[in-house]
Amino acid sequence: GNVGQDGKGGMKNLTADECGGTTQRYTWKQTEEEIVVEFPIDRAVRAKQIAVSFKAKHLSVKVKPGAPGEEERVILEGATLRDIKPDDCVWEIDDEDGSKKVVVTVVKRHATLAMHHWECVVEGDEKIDTSRFGPAVVGINGNDPQALKRMLEEHGHMNPRPVPLEG
């Protein structure tokens, strides 16, 4: 799970919402493997007006004009904070609860945990303070010789530092 500090010296499971943020154009949340960006659209907007482009280091999300005189709306445009897996990323229009929104799911190239989560979706956008999540907590089974190897393969890019055990 996604474990981080609870602000009182203890640990807790962090929700995807707690690991995200809000900008003037969109809200976002993240798990270990993906980021979900959501933004409201007018009920008249159709899928063909949504232009989304996923590249290894770039994300573009725009709403094209639906009528003459309307301007293109740029929701996200720029270099992603870290690499993504373009072929695994998707987007959809969610039309529930009387409102309409676009939901963009971005799959991270490398999983992240706690304070190593993304601070923003694209460079230049407002950042969240990921240090408040504390150090990553990764549990491994000491009886499984492959567990340490798998953990290092999955999370070694986060520069883990051993935590001395008291006692």
For domain 3-158, the CATH class is mainly beta
Question: For 50-72, what is each residue's pLDDT tens digit?
Answer: 999 999 999 999 999 988 889 99
pLDDT score of 128: 87
User: Would you put residue 152 in left (φ > 0), alpha (ψ -120 to 50) or beta?
Assistant: alpha
59 CB neighbour count, 10 Å cutoff: 24
Taking the C-alpha atoms of residue 47 and residue 98, their distance in angstroms, rounded to an integer, is 17
Alpha-carbon distance values, 151 to 12, 145, 160 (Å): 20, 11, 10
Of the ranges 2-6, 36-40, 150-154, 157-161, which is most confident? 36-40
- Output the pLDDT for position 18: 83
Give the span between the Cα atoms of 52 and 74, in whole angstroms. 10
Domain boundaries in the chain? 3-158
Q: Are 15 and 98 in contact (CB under 8 A)?
A: no
65, amino acid identity: P
Would the pLDDT of 108 be above 70? yes
Residue type, 126: E
> Dmax over Cα atoms in the chain, in whole Å?
72
As to burial, measured by CB atoms within 10 angstroms (0-12 exposed, 13-18 middle, 19+ buried), residue 36 is: middle
Q: Are 137 and 11 in contact (CB under 8 A)?
A: yes
Model confidence, pTM: 0.76
